[in-house]
Amino acid sequence: MDKTRVTRALESGGLGDFSMVPWKILKAAQAFGQAGHHMTYLWDKGTLKIATLSKPLIPYLEAWKRFKRDYGITGEMIMERRFDSEKHGLTGKPDRIVPIQKKLTVLEIKFTAALYIGVGPQLAAYKKLALENGIPVKNRMAVRLKESGNPPYEIGIYKDSTDWLMVLHCLSIHNWKMRKGGGKR
């Protein structure tokens, strides 16, 4: 059975809808977010060549480094590993799974204007995927990196037990759309 990406399911359910954003702005924001994610990935692997980094990304790298320092994130972490759920037909790739205060935390790194409503369910899905694959995640957190500020990031801690229910509802909507010929995986 083909598995549905977490973000696609949330989009089908209306929790990742950016249709109100003009196309050119959305594409530029997506490109910046992808570049930012790649930057943090290379930084954490120890292979980022700072001299090649685009100037607009530099404050976000500093924000990432500050966040990691402030939250004591060092050493081993799971980075952008795909997890599948046979039971739910879902697949997803959380940005990081890291120990924070000695508890494994699924962490999403955001380069968005705000921590939007779909982040809690997104993290709930990633936590469920990790648990089903033997990773004992306890907490869910998002960090929105900012160009400036003190601190230069915003934290979202997600504990709402209904977030997973929202994922299941969105997945049901997605599967219904697929059966009716109006969706994509």
pLDDT above 70 for 16: yes
Tell me the CA end-to-end span of the chain in Å, nearest whole number.
11
Report residue 1's pLDDT band, with 50, 70 and 90 as the boundaries: low
Q: Which two tokens stand for residue 163?
A: 């977030």
Q: Which two tokens stand for residue 41?
A: 């990935």
Residue type, 134: G
* Domains of the chain, first to last: 4-179 (3.90.320)
Residue type, 183: G
pLDDT above 80 for 128: yes
Report residue 92's pLDDT band, with 50, 70 and 90 as the boundaries: very high
Q: What tens digit of pLDDT does each residue of 149-170 get?
A: 999 999 999 999 999 999 999 9
- For residue 185, the model assigns a pLDDT of 52
pLDDT above 90 for 75: no
Of 15-29, 40-54, 78-92, 94-108, the least confident: 15-29
- Reduced to 3 states, what is the DSSP secondary structure of residue 163? helix
pLDDT above 90 for 81: yes
The runs of H, that is alpha helices, within the chain are 6-12, 23-45, 58-70, 119-132, 163-179
Q: How far is CA 149 from CA 21, 32, 97, 124, in A?
A: 25, 19, 25, 28
pLDDT above 90 for 19: no
Q: Are 117 and 15 in contact (CB under 8 A)?
A: yes
If one compares 183 and 140, the residue with the highest pLDDT of the two is 140
Neighbouring C-beta atoms of residue 149, cutoff 10 Å: 11
For the segment 1-8, the average pLDDT, to the nearest whole number, is: 88
Q: Which two tokens stand for residue 142?
A: 């998002």
- For residue 183, the model assigns a pLDDT of 61
pTM assigned to the model? 0.93
